[in-house]
Amino acid sequence: MRFRTTATTVVAFAVAMAYLESAVVVYLQRALAVTPETLFPLRGAQVVGDLAPIEVGREAATLVMLAAIGCLVGRRWADRLAWTAVAFGVWDLFYYFWLWLFIGWPHSPGTWDVLFLIPVPWAGPVWAPVAVSAALIGFGLAAAYQVGIGRFPRVGLIRGAGAVAGGLLVVGSFTANAPALIDGGLPGWFPWPLFVAGIALASWSTVASLRAGSAGTAEAPERGAPAPPLSRGLERNA
């Protein structure tokens, strides 16, 4: 598929998936008589009982589905990873959009939310996962387009280590309040300097990898350009 067609397909899937998940969240809140305003302190064991493992499984299934669409539309590891990033980012952004449209939540970018429960609770203000999703969409589209025209990102050891370290810093900022949440407490201060450092490091690594691939890979000949005569190759080999 052409780049635009693939991008439209991935975005449409992620938007629809976000709608479905947002609707499920609304149904669960109504069935369990809870609201987003009473999200903290976490009351999973007392409120949902044996539904907690199902919720963890649902989150894992969500990640599998997002990775699956990336693998289906991509042809190589690079664009498969890129399209997975795009799907994840669009899904996350529209998850909050649909919730806001359905129930008026989140109230502001500073509203706290529980992001994941694997392997510990992740929590942070809504602006933080939105920033991550925006980066995933932008860099994912750039990488997918570059791979589509034959320019493969060159990761390398340093750039790869930077991307992993940046991701770990972001995850660390989201899980910093996990001990307090597990003990039934409220989330405290969000370590935004750690988050910003992680985003910056991961972004630098991604941009450097894309630029290295663009500079190190020859451009494909334009469509319609004449091919070099066969006789030239024969003359060189003579």
pLDDT tens track of the chain, all 238 residues?
A: 689 999 999 999 999 999 999 999 899 888 877 778 777 777 654 445 567 788 888 899 999 999 999 999 998 889 999 999 999 999 999 999 999 999 999 999 999 999 998 889 999 999 999 999 999 999 999 999 999 888 888 888 999 999 999 999 999 999 999 999 888 888 889 999 999 999 999 999 999 999 987 665 544 433 444 444 443 443 444 3
CA atoms within 13 Å, Cβ hemisphere of 82: 26
Q: How confident is the model at residue 44, as a pLDDT?
A: 53
Decide: pTM greater than 0.95. Answer: no
Which one, of 17, 9, 22, 4, lies nearest residue 88 by Cα? 17
Q: Could you tell me the residue ranges of all domains in the chain?
A: 3-216
What's the CA gap between 67 and 77, in Å, rounded?
A: 12
Q: How confident is the model at residue 51, as a pLDDT?
A: 73
Which one, of 83, 196, 212, 219, lies nearest residue 132 by Cα? 196
CA 118 to chain CA centroid, nearest Å: 15
Q: How confident is the model at residue 173, as a pLDDT?
A: 97
Q: Within the chain, how many helices (H) and strands (E) appear?
A: 9, 2
Q: How confident is the model at residue 91, as a pLDDT?
A: 98
Q: How confident is the model at residue 234, as a pLDDT?
A: 37
